[in-house]
Amino acid sequence: MSETQVNIAINGAAGRMGRQLLAAVAERPDTRISAAIDAPGQASIGVDTSVLSGGEATGISVVDSVADALTNVDTIIDFSAPAVTLALLEVIKGSDKRIVIGTTGFTDAQLRTLEKAASDIPIVFAANYSIGVTVALSLLAQAAKALGDDYDVEITEAHHHHKVDAPSGTALAMGNAVADALNRDLKQCAVYGREGITGARDPKTIGFATVRAGDIIGEHTVLYAGNGERLEITHKANDRMTFARGAVRAAHWLSTQSAGLYDMTHVLGLKQHV
């Protein structure tokens, strides 16, 4: 582990992921919390981050102004909402800050804005920061290339009842991994749910099914179904710390990178940035 210390800000510190991120930063001796930000008017404003993470006192209180919080920060980790993330990118544009983005639910236009920002800012952007999911995406592409068009592809995902976007960003990332391997455009071949008399299945489609229930952290299964056999690749998350640790690892890796748009395959060395 590198001895270089990375100073991190958590945007959305009092959220479910924000609290996990604070704890994950505290686990590593080469990272420290330098700022924690939440929306104006929240009960967390002015509270020491240890109250949110359950750890030891840090002397860092949650603030409601991004611009005032970033003086001693190298990298920001942001799991918030698309509009909030894009506003944050505007604030740090032209600075020496880096950002790890775990926000999902972007529109195509918002994604183009994010991609444009990467020409000026080092950004890691991933739908899922789990190491296992990153490896699964590679396996899914390999399987799709080997199985080809003779196998139907269906993707099922399940999350807690608080999640506001569907399908999940991870499910869409999995769909894109399969579609790219099969030389398909996911926007053209995706089917999101079925109802009524739908007719026979188009073999070139990729189906999605969504479950929202209870406190499910995240489960994703990609089914390849052929005549006489089925192959399933499944990832199940049992603890949000899985995602938080991956995001903190990404933040540390990003500290030595130049401007560009990266994902977890770059962080893990599975793909080189072009």
Give the DSSP letter of residue 248: H
Distance CA 203, CA 75 (A): 44
Distance CA 154, CA 27 (A): 38
Token output for 211: 């479950």
Which H or E element spans position 218?
strand 218-226
Say if CB 73 and CB 86 are below 8 A apart.
no
Using DSSP, state whether 261 is helix, strand or coil. strand
Token output for 154: 């269906």
Using DSSP, state whether 10 is helix, strand or coil. strand
Given 93, 97, 145, 159, the catalytic residue: 159
- Residue tagged 């940035």 (tokens): 273
Say if CB 58 and CB 48 are below 8 A apart.
yes
Given 145, 161, 163, 235, the catalytic residue: 163
Using DSSP, state whether 222 is helix, strand or coil. strand
Is 163 known to be catalytic? yes
Is 236 known to be catalytic? no
Query: What are the CA-CA distances from residue 37 to residues 19, 41, 67, 158, 253 (Å)?
Result: 11, 12, 10, 29, 22
Partner residues linked to 59 by β-bridges: none
Distance CA 272, CA 274 (A): 6
**Active site positions, annotated:** 159, 163
